[in-house]
Amino acid sequence: MKTLCALLIALLIPESLSQSACEESTASKIVGGYETDSEKHPFYTALVLSSQLKSNGSLLVVCGASLIKSNKILTAAHCYADRRKKGGNWMSELSAVFDLKNRCKGEYGASSSIIRVEIHPLYDPLTTNNDLAIATLSRNVLYDPVCLAPKGGGGISSAGYVVGYGATTEGGKSQPCKLMRAGVKIFPKNECLQTEIKQLIKLVSGIVCAGLKSGIHDTCQGDSGGPLVRFENGIEILQGLTSFGRGCGRANSPGVYTDVSYHRDWIDAQIGTSFISSLMRGSRCGNLRQTFGFIDFLS
C-alpha cells in the first residue's frame, strides 16, 4: 500500500525508513507457517479474479476474507478501494471461493459472485484507519461463519493464528498451493507502540498487532483482509483483519490488523441486528473442532 509512504513523510520519519521501507510496508501483507487443511477453516474466504474461475486452472488469491454470515464476508477496505476508483463493474471483478483445497490446481468446495460491497465510510487510505469492508454474496453458502470478537474486546493479549495464501517470504513473487497457517501473539496498540513500527501506527486507531518478537511468523503479500483468530473457551474468534505491516516476518515488527471488536457497531449494522455473529449472543458460529496446538509456534 503505497499510501503508507505519504504517511511516513507526514510523520517525518528518519531516513532509515525511507522510500525503500515504504515499498516494503505494503498493506497486502504467511511467513514461517505450515500447510493446513482448508476444511479446518470453513470461514476462510479467498477473493480471486472472477475471470479465472472460468478457466478451471490455477487461481491467484488477491485478498483473504472471512465468512460472517451465510451471504456476507468481511475483508479489508484496501482490497476494493482502488477498484472502486476505476468504476465500471468493480464489485464483480472478484469472486469468493470457499474451501480452496489446492490453489495451483483450482480445486475448491464452492464459489460465489459478489453483488455488493460496503466499504467503511470513514476508510482513509492515507492513515489506513477503518480498513474494512463487507461484501454480499449472490447466494448463501453452506459453511459455518466465524464468531466475531465482542465489542470492546481488543485490548487483551492472547495467542492466536493467521491463515492465508500470501507469499511465504518478504518480496516473494509466488503463492503457496495449499492454505498456510502460523501462530502469533496478539497484543493491543499501546504495546505495539513499543516496537519498530510505532511510527507507522501513530495516527491509526481501531487496530491490534500480532506476531512474534523474533519475527518469523507473519502475514505477507496476498494475505490482506484475511483473518486473525484467537480462541475463547475453545471457540475461534475473529479478532482482526490483515491490514498492513513493515515487511514480512521482521523481528520486533508485528503485523497490523483492523480490530473487529472496535468496529462491531458498524459491522452489526451491515449484517443486520437479527444476526449477530458473536459467541456472546449464542449464534451458530465458530469451529468447535479446532484446538490450539504448540505446532503453531514451531518455526
What are the residue numbers of the active site? 78, 131, 224
Identity at 172, one-letter amino acid code: G
How far is residue 69 from each of residues 28, 52, 121, 273, measured CA to CA in Å?
24, 25, 21, 12
Burial (CB < 10 A; 0-12, 13-18, 19+), residue 70, is middle
Q: What is the DSSP letter of 170?
A: T
Residue 290 is placed in which grid cell? 479446532
**What is the C-alpha end-to-end distance of the chain, expressed in Å?**
27
Pairwise CA distance, residues 100 & 35, whole Å: 12
**Taking a C-beta distance cutoff of 8 angstroms, is the pair 90, 148 a contact?**
no
Degrees (nearest 5) of the Cα angle 18, 23, 27?
125
Pairwise CA distance, residues 220 & 28, whole Å: 6
Pairwise CA distance, residues 235 & 142, whole Å: 19
Residue 249 is placed in which grid cell? 516476518
Give CA 251 to chain center in angstroms: 20
Pairwise CA distance, residues 256 & 188, whole Å: 10
Residue 27 is placed in which grid cell? 498493506
Q: What is the DSSP letter of 149?
A: P
Radius of gyration (Cα) for the chain, nearest Å? 17
Burial (CB < 10 A; 0-12, 13-18, 19+), residue 111, is buried
